[in-house]
Amino acid sequence: MVQRFKGSRVPLFQPWGTRQEGRAVARVLRSHWWAMGPEVARFEREFLEALAPDDGWHAVMTNSGTAALHLALVVAGVCPGRSVVMPSFNFVSAAHCVRLLGGEVIFCDVRDFDLNLDPVDAEVRAQPNTVALVALHYAGNACVWTEIEALRQRKPMVIIEDVAHACGARTTGWRPAGFCGDLGCFSFHAVKHIASPDAGMVVTRNRKWAEAMRRMRWLGISRDTGDKETKPDYSITGVGFKYTPNDIAAAICRVQLRRWPRGVCRRRAICRRYDIELFDLPWLQIPEVNWSHGAPLIYWIRVKNQRMRDALREHLRERGIDSAVHFRPLHLEECYRRSALRLPVTERESSRLLCLPVYPEMSRKTIRRVVQAIRDFGEGRNGGN
Ligand SMILES: Cc1ncc(COP(=O)(O)O)c(C=O)c1O
């Protein structure tokens, strides 16, 4: 019989909002400029001031992380007859964008210790027509950048970082994730480190690409929506999308940006607490990552097999604790399935993986509740066997 849980649920994610966000939104509403305008420009500037490691970066805000990836893939030259390498252990956004541009998606495997892409496998799978590689920094742990740089030396291609999970993570040489490759794509969706109803950002050092993405985010129109006074006329210089962010989301993002370093510290502390509380369980594997370099979005554990994972997930659900499987391999999804393609690490690890709640306001008591529920599961199964 399914036990019904009474009491508060523990969500997987929860945005950290305060009255400051409310005041920022009210200010925009009173200004009567709700569409893309001065708040977007300010957020783009402040984002670079907070994150960019040096001068020369351009930031183009969009209405989602998916839109950011789409624009990045366009300027990277993805079109029919060209391909893009990315891990199959991934959210679907980048793959769909490649397909929508008429390009081919080449999936590669991940490494079992951090679940980030395997550069050796990516290199083997890349084709002469491969123009770009999408490097996802999974769950807030940055890829080892020296290896990706070495891969690019041998196989020249545009490197796009998917930083949706990792705003604030550091990689080789303490470089911030998103500012290592040619284009960095961030998401400010409600569950992310900088949370808003929906928004994203592309950063690049390439001024021409930045200008092209700026035009494309607003239907190829040569003037931003907030520029009416300085540029009264406009022309349509090419085709584009309706990927404009709005000032309400940007105002929320500006407040979130100021709180973001504290949020990252809290997320690290929660993951360290999980490490300490769970490392002695022989039936469960904790992540082998250094949280002090990361900006964790989720905490992932691995158990013996899929049956055990699904049973643990159900056990947590009955106790009011949300968990999730991020990600199921894309190459096994109907839309991308190819019978011959086998990615052994991706298939094995995703089948036994479970993601646990992490959000800045998660209390010690709530962490203990999650840990206790996991321990009870092990005891109920004779030590997890
Ligand atoms: C790894 C990854 N990339 C891209 C995205 C897309 O971001 P958005 O939801 O802002 O479009 C997500 C969303 O969760 C994601 O997890």
Residue 46 confidence (pLDDT): 98
pLDDT at 205 over 80: yes
Which domains does the chain carry?
A: 19-255 (3.40.640.10), 260-380 (3.90.1150.10)
pLDDT digits 0-9 by tens, 216-253: 999 999 876 666 666 668 899 899 999 999 999 999 99
pLDDT digits 0-9 by tens, 274-286: 999 999 999 999 9
Residue 383 confidence (pLDDT): 62
Residue 331 near ligand 1, beta carbon < 6 Å: no
Mean pLDDT of 82-111: 98
pLDDT at 76 over 80: yes
pLDDT digits 0-9 by tens, 2-47: 455 667 999 999 999 999 999 999 999 999 999 999 999 999 999 9
Stated pTM of the model = 0.96
Residue 1 confidence (pLDDT): 43
Mean pLDDT of 153-176: 95
**Band (197; pLDDT cuts 50, 70, 90):** very high
**Band (356; pLDDT cuts 50, 70, 90):** very high
**Band (146; pLDDT cuts 50, 70, 90):** very high
Residue 293 confidence (pLDDT): 94
**Band (340; pLDDT cuts 50, 70, 90):** confident
191 Cα to the center of ligand 1, angstroms: 10
Mean pLDDT of 301-323: 98
Residue 6 confidence (pLDDT): 65
Distances (CA, A) of 17 to 193, 252, 257, 271, 306: 11, 9, 12, 21, 36
- Judge contact between 39 and 196, C-beta under 8 A: no
Residue 203 confidence (pLDDT): 98
Rounded Cα distance between 198 and 190, Å, is 6
Mean pLDDT of 66-94: 98
66 Cα to the center of ligand 1, angstroms: 6
Mean pLDDT for all residues in the chain: 95
184 Cα to the center of ligand 1, angstroms: 13
Q: Return the best residue to mutate from 93, 196, 252, 327 for the ligand 1 pocket (most ligand atoms within 8 A of CB).
A: 93
**Band (195; pLDDT cuts 50, 70, 90):** very high
**Band (72; pLDDT cuts 50, 70, 90):** very high
In 3D space, the residue among 94, 38, 123, 125 whose CA is nearest the CA of residue 336 turns out to be 94
pLDDT at 138 over 90: yes
Residue 382 confidence (pLDDT): 64
Which tokens belong to 242? 């309706």
Protein residue closest via CA to atom 3 of ligand 1: 164
Residue 223 confidence (pLDDT): 72
Of residues 354 and 384, which shows the higher confidence score? 354
Mean pLDDT of 51-75: 97
Residue 380 confidence (pLDDT): 78
250 Cα to the center of ligand 1, angstroms: 17
